[in-house]
Amino acid sequence: MPRPKSTVALDEIHWGALKTLFPYLLEFKRAVILALLCLVGAKLAGVGLPFILKHIVDDLDAAGGAIQAIALPLGLLLAYGAVRFSSTLFGELRDTIFGRVTERAQRRVGLEVFRHLHRLDMDFHLDRRTGGLSRDIERGNSGIGFLMRFMVFNIVPTLVEIAMVAGILWWNYSVAFALLVLGAVIVYIGFSVVATEWRTRFVRELNQAESQSSSRAVDSLLNYETVKYFGNENYEAGHYDRELAFWERARRKNRLSLFGLNVGQALIIASAMCGAMVLAAVNVTQGVMTIGDFVLINAFMMQIFIPLNFLGFVYREMKGALANIEKMFSLLTVKPAVEDAEDAAELQVLEGRIEFDAVRFGYRENREILRGVSFTVEPQQKVAIVGASGAGKSTLFKLLFRFYDVDGGRILVDGQDIRSVSQDSLRRAVGVVPQDAVLFNQSILENVRYGRVDASDEEVMEAIRHAQLYDFVQQLPEGVDTMVGERGLKLSGGEKQRVAIARALLKRPPIMVFDEATSSLDSRSEQGILQSLREIAREQTTLVIAHRLSTVVDADVILVMEQGRIVEQGSHGELLEQNGHYATLWRLQQQERRQEAAA
């Protein structure tokens, strides 16, 4: 069934994403409390610095002789140095302590998203663009780190510090200074919010352009051989260049909007600083304030507007970070189409009997693939499914493995409906050799060991021998430690197929499915592997999906499918006697083999 795709509007930001971060803060309560204490210490030291500076200036101004000028403010100078150092020290301690909380949050969220992606159904992964998805996750994880560090320990403390300074100026000097500071802060924050909201869409467009260009590059490189086959290097370069042109335009818009925001903020800060200095200078000339007071006002204004300017940066980056992480968090809201039942039990495989009971299924509502398919695979029996392309053979395997759930009917394993058991237990019981063998970019040994990650080297080598892979491995300079390349591109199709077969054999499950498992092998290798499979199949229930009928002549039962239905079934000899679909396919393939042999 089609599932609506999860999309995020370009003109809104979901602040609710922040709620998901709070549990990660609470995991390290002591560290958070200690970091908050360091924060308070740093802010108190910061507010005290201008007062110490004021007294130093006044003492120097009032001192008559050189000896007094050195002796009188010496204690204040030492205090100034100690307070400034403590302010920096507390700030560094805060960042160091809270760094652990931030890194753990990034780790936990990243792992949760990774696990969730593996829980999603086949349709999601068929529709995804790997390059763009990886960039979204990377940017979202970085955005979490930014939000955890700066929002919690910079935005709120900066606003508190501004309120403290405004109160001090009001109490010690006049309401005019406090109103000037508060007015400038309100104008600055208002301008920053409005301008940042305006330019958020440019940030989103840039992110979208980066994801598209990255996806295109990754997709093209993953299909390197196909590009070469058709000589489409220039076509791919042109397509990638168009994506980069979109990225260039988005980058330019983002840069110009940032220029306007920075200039506006700078104008507000410069105007407020100038106004405060003029007001303080007038008071000094009138004898209302001392030179030390003038210096204190200047220090306080700088102390307010430097973090306020930083607040503008934090807010801008926070909006950008939210734009980045909301897409990653939206992945967590995607519900898999195939889920375990609340009371799902573990699958108990005692014999290995498989039953398809009136199974109906379609990938889309208006296109039914299977139309009431029913058959039974008895324990330790080998059943083959053959038929023309598009008849629904591979769909049976996908339903058995619960990549999809049936639309009607049911599938039973030893009498247990597979929808009532956990997917993990079901998939542990079923081994698969797919038609398209995709390998990890690791060694041959590790790719085979992936079938059972706790297997010993001896067990892995035994599986390699059964898969007729041993002679090939012995010819390689690095043997089983040879790296196979990304998606196994360093190996031929037949070699990859044998690695996949070895991997499945190592798993040794009670039920084995071969989906065109020998389609990429030559006749000699195919016969050797078929003999190994016959030996192993004596202890397993085996379901074989085949195109070449010569590979399944020894099957206990052969099912012939046509347009989503089973039209014939029986042994090889029985089906030839019926002189139906199977017999026709057999004669055609035998004729093709004779023609190939003659050629």
Q: How confident is the model over 314-332, as a mean pLDDT?
A: 74
For residue 38, CA distances in Å to 52, 87, 149, 153, 198 come to 21, 9, 14, 10, 36
- Residue 71 is assigned to a structural domain of this protein: yes
From CA 410, how far away is CA 358, in angstroms rounded?
7
d(CA 271, CA 273): 6
How far is Cα 113 from Cα 330, in angstroms, rounded to an integer? 10
pLDDT exceeding 70 applies to what percent of the chain?
A: 81
Query: How far from the centroid of its chain's Cα atoms is residue 201's Cα?
Result: 23
Is 505 exposed, middle or buried, given 0-12, 13-18 or 19+ CB atoms closer than 10 A? buried
Claim to verify: residue 316 and residue 400 sit in the same structural domain? no
> Do 360 and 328 reside in the same domain of the chain?
no
Least confident of 191-205, 368-382, 386-400: 191-205
Q: What is the mean pLDDT of residues 242-267?
A: 85
pLDDT score of 356 more than 90: yes
pLDDT at 416: 92
d(CA 457, CA 440): 18
Higher pLDDT, 158 or 387: 387
Q: Are 383 and 559 in contact (CB under 8 A)?
A: yes
Q: Is residue 459 part of a domain?
A: yes
How many whole angstroms separate alpha carbon 56 and alpha carbon 77?
7
390 and 305 assigned to the same domain: no
> Which three-class secondary structure string do you get for 87-142?
HHHHHHHHHHHHHHHHHHHHHHHHHHHHHHHHHCCHHHHHHCCHHHHHHHHHHHHH
CA distances from 549 to 123, 519, 567 (A): 31, 11, 16
Strand arrangement of the beta sheet that strand 354-361 belongs to: 370-377, 354-361, 408-413, 416-417
Task: Give the type of residue at 239.
Answer: H
Q: Is the pLDDT of residue 61 over 90?
A: no
Structure tokens, 213:
């260009």
Q: What is the pLDDT of residue 536?
A: 62
More reliable by pLDDT, 168 or 383: 383
Residue pLDDT, tens place only, 158-170: 777 777 777 777 8
Average pLDDT over residues 153-181: 77
Same domain (yes/no): 317, 384: no
385 belongs to a structural domain? yes
Q: Which amino acid appears at position 596 of this protein?
A: E
Low-confidence winner among 104-108, 562-566, 569-573 (lowest mean pLDDT): 104-108
By residue range, what is the domain housing residue 495? 354-598
End-to-end alpha carbon distance in the chain: 47
Q: Which pLDDT score is estimated for 409? A: 92
- 142 and 286 part of one domain: yes
Please count the residues of the chain: 599
User: What pLDDT score does 93 carry?
Assistant: 81
Say whether pLDDT at 66 is over 60. Answer: no
Q: What is the pLDDT of residue 3?
A: 39
User: How many other CB atoms sit within 10 Å of the CB of residue 263?
Assistant: 10
Q: Looking at 73-87, 370-384, 545-559, which range is the least confident one?
A: 73-87
Q: Report if residue 199 sits inside a domain.
A: yes
Check whether residue 255 and residue 359 sit in a common domain: no
Q: Which residue has the higher pLDDT, 250 or 20?
A: 250
pLDDT given at position 8 = 39
8 A C-beta contact, residue 404 and residue 125: no
SS (H, E, C) 21-36: HHHHHHCCHHHHHHHH
Residue 69 pLDDT class (50, 70, 90 cuts): very low
Closest by Cα among 213, 215, 240 to 232: 240
- Encoded amino acid at 139, one letter: R
Residue 1 lies in a domain: no
CATH number, residue 453: 3.40.50.300
Give the chain's domain count. 2
Residues 309 and 423 in one domain: no
Q: What digits encode the pLDDT tens for the residues 424-443?
A: 899 888 888 877 777 888 88
Residue 338 belongs to some domain of the structure: no
Query: Nearest CA to 105 among 26, 170, 199?
Result: 26
* pLDDT, average across residues 168-173: 79
Looking at the structure, do residues 236 and 369 belong to the same domain, yes or no? no
Same-domain status, 413 and 304: no
CATH number at residue 21: 1.20.1560.10
pLDDT at 4: 37
Dihedral sign for Cα 187, 188, 189, 192, please.
positive
Window from 9-18, 241-250, 308-317 with minimum mean pLDDT = 9-18
Task: Provide mean pLDDT across the span 140-167.
Answer: 73
Give the amino acid at 196. T
